[in-house]
Each structure stands twice: as C-alpha cells, then as structure tokens.
C-alpha cells in the first residue's frame, strides 16, 4: 500500500524518512520536492502523480507529511482521504508525544518518531491509532530543546513566545502580491506542580467576521492546543491551560486572513544606473517598518548579478555592521545587515563590473529575523498563574522570521 513516508521542511529538506521497501532510497521523494519547488503559486494537490510515483501529503506546522503510494488500484478504490486522515492522525500523535513540532524537534526525536511510524504504518499497512493507545508501545523518551544552565537551574521562570513566519511575494513598488503569515503562541513553565496559566490577548482569535467596524486581527485558521480553554468573560481573549513542568505547550496556532492588511517588517526599493558602457550600479534601500524598540539580529538580501559580471564594488550607509559579498561562480550577491534597529534604513550601492551599462537586476530574496515584533499585531496583555507564585520571572517574547520572501526589483 505505502512504500515510503517522510517529513519535509518548506525548503525541501527531508527531516525524517521511513522506507517500507528495502530497494528504495530517499530519492523516491525527489519528484515530490521538485513539484513543490516548481509550484510558485501554491502547493500541488493533496494527491498527485509525478514521474511514475503517487504522492499523498498534508501540511502541518510548516512541515510536509508525505506518503509515497505503491502502484495499483488502491487510490482508485479508496481515494486519498484515508491516507490524508492517517497522516493527520500521525501528526496529532507526534504533537502529543513530542510537544511543539519544529524542524529541530523532528530531527532530535527521530528514534521516537520511527517507533510511532512503525506502529501506525506497520511496514506500509495503515493502522488507526491514538496517542493513548500507542504510549505503552513507545520506548523512546522525548528529547527536549536544550536550555542554558541558567534556565535549567532556575525553576521560577515562565516563557510565553509569540512566533510568526512570513511567506510573501512583493512587486517592485512594494505592493504585496500575496502573503501568508502563520503564528503560534507557545509557553514553557519551569515551576513545580501544575499551576493554571491564563493569558489575556489584545484581540480575539476568530475566523468569523464581526458586525460593525472592527480593527481586530482577522484570521483564516485558528487551532487551539489540547486542553486550552477559551474564556468568554473577556470577549474570548482569555486562554487558559494547565502547565506541564519544563514542557513546551502550544496554546494556539493561527493563520492571518488573506484579506488582512499585511504589514511586512521591511520594504526594499531598487534602481539601476549606467556608470560606464561596461559597468552599471545597483542601488538598494531597505527600510524597517517595525518601529522603535525593535531590532533585527540579521537581515540578508540575496540576488543574482547579470551573467557577464566579473566583480562587484560596494559601499553602504546606515547601520554599522553591513557587508556585501559576491560569488564569481554563481554570480550571487549577498547583502547582510546585523543588528538592524527598527524604524531605520540601510542603503547599498553595488557596482557591477563588466555587466553592461544597461544591465538590471530583476528580483531577489529577503531573509530576516525580527525581535519584539509580529506582523499580526497580536500581543499578550497579561500573564497569570493560579495559584499565584511569588518571585516569578515572566518573559513574553515576540519573534518574526521569514520563510520565503521574494521581491521584484524592476
């Protein structure tokens, strides 16, 4: 029935693979990854065939959970819904056993996930299972993310993280053609016992439209974590859950509505000018939209110079820690800015030697990580524990990272 299973990142990196036939290798998933990379306007259908292979997948937690299906009449008889449901169930089981599912947690828990896959797929034959039924058959322990010695030695810490990832395609004038922002509110409590955690947000996490004028955040998908209670006394802005000492808890996952005004953390403008008949200059200006008090530890812009470019010369203005690198082999230009303060801007003037006086650079990719700011505007207004704890250090952190942000420059 099933010949192989894998978990892949959005960038096409296989994080985990299980092969149910001895003759197979991870190369069986190459057509699937190729199809992902060649679908710029959206993911392929949940079930499709390519290069003689049949694939069924679901997308959860920014990861692709993929099955390769053996040739035969299975899909014709049963369709792909059974496999889709089994993959969703596998995701739920791994989420319960491992906590928050990230690329790091997947790679750190490959042994445990291998056991889960062996139990739920049984060499390629689907088995319907739940976490409580599987628990007695799992012998591996969860490998948690490593904490610093200061954190592990201090039991009076509570972390609440609001983390968002951005996928966007932006036109040359800065207009957002398409954007997708997915976010999570995560909590980790280093306290004895199981106190109840209550978070009060600045907005309701709803997918339904509200009557009248509404300036709140609009969501297309909202999924609350296991055991999370959504209170009604404060307009649905209060979320409560029982803490688990040292374990990361997923409070809620959400996706911004496509019609929500997307404010991206950066805007880039570009222009090209002829310097000589053989050389042109690329001028880039990167502006931070995140406001004072925020900082981007590192921002990287990558583009490709015209094929005839022999070398580049550059100068920058703005933040101190900037660098422009050029790779003659693939003509790649990389502009890196470290410790980019919110509300400021940086400029790069890049001379493209032997590119041709009228040469232009058409597009590029922007990678970033921004602290103390999220695109959605979701904020945690208060954090309470019941029963209350004295001398508790509460940290609420905000982080926005890029998944794939492509920019047209001309």
pLDDT at 251: 92
Q: Extract the tokens encoding 52.
A: 């003689």
For domain 2-137, the CATH architecture is 2-Layer Sandwich (3.30)
What's the fold here for domain 266-371? Immunoglobulin-like (2.60.40)
Are 352 and 254 a contacting pair, CB within 8 Å? no
User: Rounded to an integer, what distance in angstroms lies between the CA atom of residue 223 and that of residue 80?
Assistant: 24
- How does pLDDT run across 265-294, given as a tens digit for each residue? 999 999 999 999 999 999 999 999 998 889
HEC string of 135-156 equals HHHCCCCCCCCCCCHHHHCCCC
Q: How far does the chain reach from its first CA to its final CA, in angstroms? A: 49
What's the fold here for domain 151-262+373-408? Immunoglobulin-like (2.60.40)
Q: What is the DSSP string of 114-133?
A: HHHHHHHHGGGS-----HHH
* Cα–chain center distance at 381: 24
Residue 14 sits at the vertex; the CA angle it makes with 12 and 18, to the nearest 5 degrees, is 145
Instruction: Scan for tokens 């649905």, then name that residue.
Output: 236
- Sorted by where each begins, the domain ranges of the chain are 2-137, 151-262+373-408, 266-371
Three-class DSSP category at 69: strand
* Cα–chain center distance at 112: 23
Can 151-262+373-408 and 266-371 be said to share one CATH topology?
A: yes
Q: Supply φ then ψ for residue 104, to 5 degrees.
A: -65, -45
User: Rounded to an integer, what distance in angstroms lies between the CA atom of residue 318 and that of residue 389?
Assistant: 45
What is the pLDDT tens value at each position of the chain, 410 positions in all?
Answer: 789 999 998 778 899 999 998 888 999 999 998 888 776 556 788 888 888 889 999 988 888 999 998 876 455 466 678 888 889 888 888 877 776 677 778 888 888 899 899 888 887 787 766 766 776 677 777 775 444 333 344 446 788 999 999 999 998 877 888 889 999 999 988 777 788 999 999 988 877 655 444 445 778 889 998 889 987 766 678 999 998 877 778 899 999 887 776 678 999 999 999 999 999 999 999 999 998 889 998 899 999 999 999 999 999 999 988 999 999 999 999 999 999 999 999 999 999 999 999 999 999 999 998 989 999 999 999 999 988 877 777 889 899 999 889 999 98
Instruction: Scan for tokens 């409560």, then name that residue.
Output: 240
Are 341 and 358 a contacting pair, CB within 8 Å? no
For 147, residues 6+ apart whose C-beta sits below 8 A from its C-beta are none
For 76, residues 6+ apart whose C-beta sits below 8 A from its C-beta are none
pLDDT at 325: 95
pLDDT at 68: 92
Burial class of 132 by CB neighbour count within 10 A (0 to 12, 13 to 18, 19+):
exposed
Three-class DSSP category at 11: coil
Long-range contacts of 18-23 (CB under 8 A, 24+ apart): 18/114, 18/117, 18/118, 18/121, 20/121, 20/123, 20/124, 21/124
* Nearest Cα to Cα of residue 322 among 334, 310, 312, 336: 336
- How does pLDDT run across 186-241, given as a tens digit for each residue? 998 877 778 899 999 998 887 765 544 444 577 888 999 888 998 776 667 899 99
Q: Extract the tokens encoding 84.
A: 């889709």
For 153, residues 6+ apart whose C-beta sits below 8 A from its C-beta are none
Residue 223 sits at the vertex; the CA angle it makes with 219 and 224, to the nearest 5 degrees, is 120
HEC string of 196-240 equals EEEEEECCCCCCCCCCCCCCCCCEEEEEECCCCEECCCCCCCEEE
pLDDT at 398: 92
Cis before 387 (ω within 30): yes
Are 240 and 185 a contacting pair, CB within 8 Å? no
* Nearest Cα to Cα of residue 162 among 365, 383, 8, 344: 383
Sign of CA dihedral 99, 102, 107, 113: positive
pLDDT at 374: 93
User: Rounded to an integer, what distance in angstroms lies between the CA atom of residue 409 and that of residue 269?
Assistant: 7
User: Rounded to an integer, what distance in angstroms lies between the CA atom of residue 409 and that of residue 360?
Assistant: 9
User: Rounded to an integer, what distance in angstroms lies between the CA atom of residue 303 and that of residue 331?
Assistant: 9
Helix 110-121 crosses helix 81-98 at what angle (to 10 degrees)?
140
């Amino acid at each position: 029935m099933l010949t192989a299973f894998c978990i892949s990142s959005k960038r096409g990196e296989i994080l985990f693979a299980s092969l149910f036939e001895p003759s197979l290798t991870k190369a069986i998933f190459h057509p699937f990854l190729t199809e992902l990379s060649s679908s710029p306007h959206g993911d392929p259908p949940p079930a499709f065939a390519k290069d003689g292979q049949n694939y069924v997948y679901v997308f959860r937690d920014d990861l692709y959970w993929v099955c390769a299906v053996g040739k035969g009449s299975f899909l014709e008889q049963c369709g792909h819904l059974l496999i889709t449901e089994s993959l969703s169930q596998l995701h739920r089981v791994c989420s319960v056993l491992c906590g928050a599912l990230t690329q790091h947690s997947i790679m750190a828990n490959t042994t445990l996930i291998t056991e889960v896959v062996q139990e739920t797929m049984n060499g390629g034959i689907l088995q319907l299972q739940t976490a409580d039924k599987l628990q007695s058959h799992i012998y591996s322990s969860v490998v948690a993310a490593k904490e610093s010695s200061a954190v592990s030695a201090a039991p009076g810490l509570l972390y609440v993280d609001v983390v968002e990832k951005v996928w966007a395609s932006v036109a040359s004038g800065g207009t957002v053609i398409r954007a997708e922002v997915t976010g999570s509110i995560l909590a980790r409590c280093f306290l004895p016992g199981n106190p109840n955690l209550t978070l009060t947000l600045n907005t309701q996490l709803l997918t339904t439209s509200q009557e009248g004028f509404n300036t709140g955040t609009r969501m297309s998908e909202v999924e609350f974590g296991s055991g999370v209670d959504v209170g009604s006394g404060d307009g649905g802005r209060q979320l409560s859950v029982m803490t688990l000492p040292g374990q990361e808890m997923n409070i809620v996952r959400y996706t911004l509505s496509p019609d929500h005004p997307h404010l991206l953390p950066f805007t880039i403008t570009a222009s090209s000018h002829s310097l000589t008949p053989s050389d042109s200059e690329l001028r880039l200006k990167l502006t931070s939209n995140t406001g004072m008090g925020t900082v981007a530890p590192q921002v990287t812009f990558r583009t490709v110079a015209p094929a005839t470019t022999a070398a580049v010369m550059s100068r920058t203005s703005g933040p101190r820690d900037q660098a422009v690198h050029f790779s003659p082999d693939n003509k790649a230009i990389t502009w890196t800015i470290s410790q980019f303060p919110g509300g400021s801007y940086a400029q790069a003037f890049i001379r493209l030697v032997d590119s041709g006086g009228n040469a232009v650079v058409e597009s590029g990719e922007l990678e970033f990580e921004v602290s103390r700011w999220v695109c959605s505007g979701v904020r945690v207004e208060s954090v309470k524990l019941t029963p209350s704890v004295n001398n508790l250090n509460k940290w609420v952190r905000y982080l926005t990272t890029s998944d794939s942000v492509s920019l047209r420059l001309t």
